[in-house]
Structure 1
Amino acid sequence: MARYVLQLAFDGDPRRLEARPAHREHLRALQAEGRLVTAGPWADDSGALHVYEVTDEAELRDILRTDPYTAVDGYEVVLLKEWTPLM
């Protein structure tokens, strides 16, 4: 398994807020499966940071394709990078 950090920037499209409940349910399911370590928005709601534990980047990209935010094009990926935490 590998850990990946995903940083998102949100746009002003109101459809993202409409998709937020489904997006958060999607994240809860991923956490229950052990594939999402943590996630949350910046305090100013300009974007978010997610940490995933997945097999590889291809699995993470599959996860992103099924995210309700993706369907409304509600974000831009700022950073998607494998991460090696020390602790």
Structure 2
Amino acid sequence: MWMIELGFTPTPQRLAARPAHRSRLVDLHHQGVVRMAGPLADDSGAVIIVAAPDRAAVDALLAADPYFSTAGVDLLGIREWHPFVR
């Protein structure tokens, strides 16, 4: 599992791109790739948990979603995560 942490600024571009991004996350959730995703309570960023075999697969997921290169979306970190409770 991998944890992706995002930081946000309230740019019009980010807000315009968000519906398509969320739709993609829902599709990936149905496929079992995205396990959890959502904004932080203060909307300063978001966390996405994905099941992927390696960092290259995570990078490919990010590259396929234009949201991650949209103004106002900052990729703060990608960390491998080993949950013991699911």
TM norm structure 2:
0.90
Which residue matches 1:49? 47
Question: Do 1:4 and 1:83's aligned partners in 2 also have CA atoms closer than 8 Å?
Answer: yes
The residue type paired with residue 2 of structure 2 is Y
One-letter code aligned to 1:51: I
Once superposed, what is the RMSD of the aligned Cα atoms?
1.2
Using the TM superposition, give the Cα deviation of residue 14 of structure 1 relative to its aligned residue in structure 2, in angstroms. Answer: 1.2
For residue 18 of structure 2, what is the aligned residue in structure 1? Answer: 20
Identity of aligned pairs, percent?
39
C-alpha contact (below 8 Å) 2:34/2:49 kept by paired residues: yes
What is the identity, as a one-letter code, of the residue corresponding to 1:72? T
User: Can you give the 5+ residue segments of structure 1 that lack an aligned partner in the other structure?
Assistant: none
Deviation for aligned residue 1:74: 3.4
Equivalent pairs, count: 85
Give 1:86 shift: 1.3
Which string of whole-angstrom CA distances, capped at 9 and with x for unpartnered residues, describes residues 27-77 of structure 1? 011111111000000111110011000111111111111113124243112
Unaligned runs of 5+ in 2: none
Displaced runs of 4 or more, over 4 A: none
